């Protein structure tokens, strides 16, 4: 028995017992192809039947370890019984009333968010259904209160796919192609990348903030016209990039110097994902506005724009609104999610995440194709590279994701060639061991292709 196999009893064969996709999955995918938009970026044919905790089953009875969690959404695991009970309890009372009225769960959720928010002063919340809507609301609020119309975003950023948020999104060419013009007035600057430094011999964070190097305010963007900087505290779709210490604080200082609002997009990094409730807390930085979605609802569609009260209270009646914001089922799920995350999963994400990174660094010693291991908590990426040139190994990355699926491990990629790990926050170290076994097999198989 090999050293790897000895660590875990799991072998691919015990999880997967049909060819993939199996017959039922294949039939469903064929029906889907005729009637569902082909725009979804689906990487492999997983057809869900049901899930429990960190495991999911497909319609043919194959079992997978889910380290993608519905793109970092199923924070408490699949079908957590307390979340399901909270949703059922809310559904028994009413399904919808609209944001024109009041109800207990919405107020309670806003109060809970106000107690947890990193702003260090009173905040207010605006509720919607998704990350992109939370970003749209943040942009509208920033324009409304500052009377300024320009924005700064980051290359590699992902903030959604509606015309405002899409103007910032720049992690993949295909997200932009065919949609110009999006919202005008957005200027992109580089996001600090310690593995692939853009500024030779410099602290990447400080170099990005050095406006004489980026030529930002001096050449083309009058700082007095900039409403806000929109930033992911840990860049997600762009490659799971953790900025150097000092970057976010420097950004905060730059914004303060020019009267610019700082919007932290915590849609992916928030709600315990990085081992703190919000990623910007790693650096003690208080944004003016913060966006949440994904992990907040444990799978229920909810987005929130959280802003300092002195900013959001400037919105006049009717300035912004929607039909479904504050849906009672979503609010019930979010309240229970925050209770579970605060009550233990955030600490678990920190502890198990540190163990996971350690195991990945061990694997890196044996696998020169792993150029970089990075992340915080359970927001972790490995960048796959050509071992000689260190060029991004995109094909290898795609092959690893595919082989992992065939062996029973759900993963997604990000950046050019980064495999990302964003499992439910309740996973154990033994789940990590299982994932490591499956990953190592996938890597070896992908390299042999
Ligand atoms: N912001 C960030 C940081 C994200 O990662 C995403 C989605 O991946 C979004 C915004 C958009 O969220 P949604 O897909 O819910 O619109």
Same domain flag for 192 and 93: yes
Q: Whose CA is nearest to atom 13 of ligand 1?
A: 131
Q: Is the CB of 236 under 6 A from ligand 1?
A: yes
Q: Are 76 and 69 in contact (CB under 8 A)?
A: no
Domain identity same for 184 and 265: yes
> Residue 354 burial (CB < 10 Å; 0-12/13-18/19+)?
middle
**257-289 as b/e: b if 16+ CB within 10 A:** eeebbbbbbbbbbbbbbbbbbbbbbbbebbbbb
Same domain, 384 and 276: no
Ligand 1 contacts CB of residue 268 (under 6 A):
yes
Domain C-terminal end among 324, 341, 358: 341
Q: Ligand 1 pocket test: which of 69, 161, 267, 418 has the largest number of ligand atoms within 8 Å of its C-beta?
A: 267
Q: Mark whether 291 and 378 lie in a shared domain.
A: no
Whether residue 182 is found in the same domain as residue 274: yes
With vertex at residue 301, the alpha carbon angle to CA 237 and CA 81, rounded to the nearest 5 degrees, is: 105
Mutate to test the pocket of ligand 1, among 293, 299, 303, 420 (most ligand atoms within 8 A of CB): 293
Domain boundary among 308, 341, 374: 341
User: How far apart (Å, rounded) are the C-alpha atoms in residues 391 and 333?
Assistant: 43
69 neighbors 424 (Cβ within 8 angstroms): yes
Residue 180: CB atoms within 10 Å: 8
H helices of 125-279, in order, are 131-146, 163-166, 173-176, 204-209, 211-214, 247-258
Nearest CA to ligand 1 atom 5: 268
Between the CA of 268 and the centroid of ligand 1 the distance, in Å, is: 7
237 Cβ closer than 6 Å to some ligand 1 atom: yes
Q: Is 111 helix (H, G, I), strand (E, B) or coil?
A: helix
E strands along 385-427, which residues? 409-410, 412-414, 418-421
* Whether residues 318 and 371 fall in one domain: no
Q: Which atom of ligand 1 is nearest to the CA of 294?
A: 15
Indicate whether 324 and 366 sit together in one domain: no
Q: What SS3 state is found at 280? A: helix
Contact 333, 86 (CB under 8 A): yes
In this structure, the answer to whether residues 299 and 368 fall within a common structural domain is: no
User: Which is the closest atom of ligand 1 to the Cα of 160?
Assistant: 11
Residue 429 is predicted with a pLDDT of: 98
- One domain for residues 155 and 58: no
Q: Are residues 400 and 366 in the same domain?
A: yes
**Domain holding 60: CATH number?**
3.90.1150.10
What is the number of structural domains in the chain? 2
Q: Torsion over CA of 107, 114, 346 and 141, rounded to 10 degrees? A: 100
Rounded alpha-carbon distances, angstroms, from residue 138 to 72, 126, 230, 269, 283: 21, 9, 9, 17, 22
Q: What's the domain range around 402?
A: 3-80+345-448
Boundary-marking domain end, from 341, 357, 387: 341
Q: Give me the CATH number covering residue 87.
A: 3.40.640.10
Please list the residues that pair with 379 across neighbouring strands: 376
Cα separation, 410 vs 418, in Å, equals 14
pLDDT of 234:
98
Pocket flag, ligand 1, residue 381 (CB < 6 Å): no
- pLDDT digit string (tens) for the chain, length 449 residues: 333 333 444 455 569 999 999 999 999 999 999 999 999 999 999 999 999 999 999 999 999 999 999 999 999 999 999 999 999 999 999 999 999 999 999 999 999 999 999 999 999 999 999 999 999 999 999 999 999 999 999 999 999 999 999 999 998 889 999 999 999 999 999 999 999 998 888 888 888 888 777 777 878 899 999 999 999 999 999 999 999 999 999 999 999 999 999 999 999 999 999 999 999 999 999 999 999 999 999 999 999 999 999 999 999 999 999 999 999 999 999 999 999 999 999 999 999 999 999 999 999 999 999 999 999 999 999 999 999 999 999 999 999 999 999 999 999 999 999 999 999 999 999 999 999 999 999 999 999 99
154 in contact with ligand 1, CB cutoff 6 A: no
Residue 320 shares a structural domain with residue 205 = yes
Identify the CA nearest to 377 among candidates 335, 413, 341: 341
> Angle at which helices 328-340 and 104-116 pack, to 10 degrees?
30
Termini Cα distance of the chain: 23
Upper half-sphere CA count for residue 57 (Cβ side, 13 Å): 10
128 token code pair: 């919607």
> Cα(334)–Cα(106) distance, rounded to whole angstroms?
10
Which atom of ligand 1 is nearest to 165's Cα? 10
Grouping H, G, I as helix, E, B as strand and the rest as coil, residue 77 is coil
> Ligand 1 centre and the CA of 294: distance in Å?
7
The verdict on 280 and 401 lying in the same domain is no
Confidence (pLDDT) at 102: 97
pTM, entire model? 0.96
């Amino acid at each position: 028995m090999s050293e790897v196999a000895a660590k875990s009893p799991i072998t691919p064969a015990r999880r997967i017992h049909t060819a993939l996709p199996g017959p039922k999955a294949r039939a469903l995918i064929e029906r889907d192809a005729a009637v569902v938009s082909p725009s979804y970026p689906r990487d492999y044919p997983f057809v869900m039947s049901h899930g429990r905790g960190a495991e999911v089953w497909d319609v043919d009875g194959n079992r997978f370890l889910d380290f993608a969690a519905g793109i970092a959404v199923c924070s408490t695991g699949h079908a957590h019984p307390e979340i399901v009970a909270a949703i059922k309890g809310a559904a028994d009372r009413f399904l919808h009333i609209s944001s024109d009225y009041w109800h207990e769960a919405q107020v309670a959720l806003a109060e809970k968010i106000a107690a947890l928010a990193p702003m260090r002063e009173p905040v207010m919340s605006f509720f919607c259904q998704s990350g992109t809507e939370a970003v749209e609301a943040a942009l509208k609020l920033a324009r409304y209160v500052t009377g300024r119309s320009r924005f700064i975003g980051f290359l590699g950023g992902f903030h959604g796919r509606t015309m405002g948020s899409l103007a910032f999104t720049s992690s993949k060419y295909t997200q932009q192609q065919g949609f110009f013009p999006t919202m005008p007035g957005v200027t992109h600057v580089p996001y600090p990348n310690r593995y692939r430094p853009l500024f030779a011999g410099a602290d990447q964070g400080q170099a990005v903030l050095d406006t004489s190097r980026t030529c930002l305010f001096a050449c083309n963007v009058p700082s007095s016209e900039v409403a806000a900087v929109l930033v992911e505290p840990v860049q997600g779709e762009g490659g799971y990039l953790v900025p150097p210490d000092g970057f976010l604080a420097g950004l905060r200082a730059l914004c303060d110097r020019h009267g610019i609002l700082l919007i932290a997009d915590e849609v992916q990094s928030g709600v315990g994902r990085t081992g703190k409730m919000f990623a910007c807390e790693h650096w003690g930085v208080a944004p003016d506005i913060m966006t949440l979605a994904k992990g907040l609802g444990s799978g229920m569609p909810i987005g929130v724009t959280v802003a300092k009260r002195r900013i959001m209270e400037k919105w006049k009646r009717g300035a912004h609104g929607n039909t479904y914001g504050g849906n009672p089922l979503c609010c019930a799920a979010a309240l229970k999610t925050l209770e579970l995350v605060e009550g233990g999963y955030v600490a678990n994400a920190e502890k198990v995440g540190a163990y996971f990174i350690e195991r990945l660094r061990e694997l890196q010693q044996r696998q020169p194709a792993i150029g970089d291991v990075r992340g915080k908590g359970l927001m972790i990426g490995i960048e796959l590279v050509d071992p000689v040139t260190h060029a991004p190994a995109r094909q290898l990355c795609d092959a690893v994701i595919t082989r992992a699926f065939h062996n029973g491990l759900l993963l997604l990629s990000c950046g050019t060639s980064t495999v990302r790990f964003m499992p439910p926050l309740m996973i154990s170290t033994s789940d990590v061991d299982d994932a490591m076994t499956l990953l190592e097999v996938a890597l070896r198989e992908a390299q042999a292709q």
